[in-house]
Amino acid sequence: EIALTQSPGTLSLSPGDRATLSCRASQSVSSNYLAWYQHKPGQAPRLLIYGASKRATGIPDRFSGSGSGTDFTLTFSSLEPEDFAVYFCQQYGSSPWTFGQGTKVEIK
């Protein structure tokens, strides 16, 4: 089973800041099958990125994903107020699919 470790656990930032979240896999993720989600309390999680770098339908271009193998990154070019949430990664290259523990992006 592939373990995903996200860092940092919490990121304190201001609107307009650039942010970089990391997701590291315990072994190589096949075909870069890595997704990122946004989750706000009481809401359904929202798919942001799949295939490591492909934006999901309707996701603004301030979100971008990159990486390959064992190291992946989610980048926000400029944080909007609605972006403060928990972000988690998921690999779907090797069964069972696994998730990272999440990074909370909070308002500084």
Q: Which is nearer to other proteins, 16 or 96 (CB)?
A: 96
CB of 33 to other proteins, least distance (A): 7
CB of 21 to other proteins, least distance (A): 15
Can you tell me which residue has the tokens 């500084």? 108
Q: Which is nearer to other proteins, 84 or 88 (CB)?
A: 88
CA angle 45, 49, 55 (to 5 degrees): 120
CB 47 within 8 A of CB 90: no
**Which distant-in-sequence residues (6+ apart) come within 8 Å of 46 by Cβ?**
37, 38, 39
* Residues making contact with other proteins (CB under 8 A): 33, 35, 37, 42-47, 50, 56-57, 88, 90, 92, 95-102
Q: Which is nearer to other proteins, 17 or 92 (CB)?
A: 92
Q: Which is nearer to other proteins, 24 or 46 (CB)?
A: 46
Alpha helices in 1-108 (DSSP H): none
Tokens coding 47: 């798919």
CB of 92 to other proteins, least distance (A): 4
